[in-house]
Amino acid sequence: MEAVRHYIGVIQVNEELNAWLEVYADEAEVIANELDKEIKAGLPLKPLHGVVIGLKDVICYRGHTVSAASKILAEFTSIYNATVTQRLLEAGAIIIGRNNCDEFAMGSSNENSAFGPVKNAVDHSRVPGGSSGGSAVAVQAGMCMVSLGSDTGGSVRQPADFCGIVGLKPTYGAISRHGLIAYASSFDQIGIFGQSVDDVFSVLDVIGGPDDYDSTVQQLSKFGKELYAGIPSLARIAYFKNALEDPALDVEIRDAIMAFIKKLTAAGFSIEPIDFEYFDHIVPTYYVLTTAEASSNLSRYDGVKFGSRLETDETDLSNFYKINRSKGFGKEVKRRIMLGTFVLSAGYYDAYFTKAQQVRRLLSENTNSIFAEFDFIISPTVPTTAFKIGDSKNADPVEMFLADIYTVFANLVGIPSISIPLFSHSSGLPFGLQVMSSRGNELALQRLSKKFVEIK
């Protein structure tokens, strides 16, 4: 009970950050009281007994609003629990509220929420990253112990980097997407924020694994296998030469990572640069495919089946849809729906969507070849540190899309990836390192990440 009251107090003090759309204070205290009774009764502790958790506003919680930070779903109440929500509750976790995010998880700054931007706790004039910015700031500012976000192209790792915390995107299929509001179904993955590597993997052990409601979920043997007989320094590590030579990369970030690579080499790691042939194709491929899937997934929000219905005398059904969707969706969501509709149109389907699918297959094949020779890939998480709220990046969608240049790769090929906070910029802002492993090797990823934190 005391823990819950502590976090409610911290949330109230940090209300200006706008990280929460709703706080379940009374409900959390009731659950905490029940858990306290279980302890007094001598019952065994559950895996996440009393762990206070925030949910991104795209994850369903029965009887609670889930709006995807959009006007079109502002009054929608979930009638069931997402699989992850159910597993958290069964494990003794306390869900303390829902976190602000970019509308329908579309954005890299958390400025696209219909309920206002989230502020970075380190510097309130800067963005926390997106789309899971509220979930990241909730952990960053100590408003909960861990939180869940969703990661379609970096929406957990990028805000984790900007906020100086750990952000994990597991293998595609490691966690059920049942009850996650869809953006791009073949990319979406629920991810986890925490202050430590062990924290996020402890939550993964609880919420991951097979689910009858999601046929894409796989049994990953508790997310990996033991490698290197307990000696992480025997790992073979690659880094994309293209990434560290990219002119968009902040010089200080590049220098810090190169210095860290030298430190790792001195510690006995084998690290080699590799040229990735399709590096320049990663972002275009990602945005062609995700916008196409978004166009399809968001077509259900029309004011009839789903979504708020505006008062109108319009009798033409097509115009009725236009009115509801024009008023209900924000600018960025409408932009991506239009892009997706364009690439799926009859005259452009083969030229864009089919071609992007072919490139995605090539990326997967090349990735498999890399992991036949190496165990891990490291890269920057984001090209820059957190930028100012209202920065020109938000005015230029292409520049904002390029902010995802290092993170979308893992979503395209379905591999696990983590951002770990290792560095500090001269501006005083944190930034991290992205580490990726082959599909299903979360356990190896956990062990190596912990070693990197020790070495830093």
Q: What is the set of active-site residues?
A: 56, 131, 155
Taking each helix axis as running N to C, give the angle between helix 331-344 and helix 282-297, from 0 to 180 degrees, rounded to the nearest 10: 100
Exposure letters 202-235 (e unless 16+ CB within 10 A, then b):
bbbebbbbebeebeebbebeebbeebeeeebeeb
| Of 22, 32, 80, 31, the residue nearest 56 (C-alpha) | 22
CA dist 335 → 121, 295, 371 (Å): 29, 10, 36
Contact 375, 151 (CB under 8 A): no
According to DSSP, residue 350 is labeled I
According to DSSP, residue 126 is labeled B
Contact 221, 440 (CB under 8 A): yes
Give the count of beta carbons closer than 10 Å to the beta carbon of residue 171: 24
Sheet of strand 94-99: strand arrangement: 20-23, 94-99, 52-56, 146-151, 189-194, 166-169, 417-424, 430-437, 376-380, 236-240, 270-274
Contact 137, 119 (CB under 8 A): yes
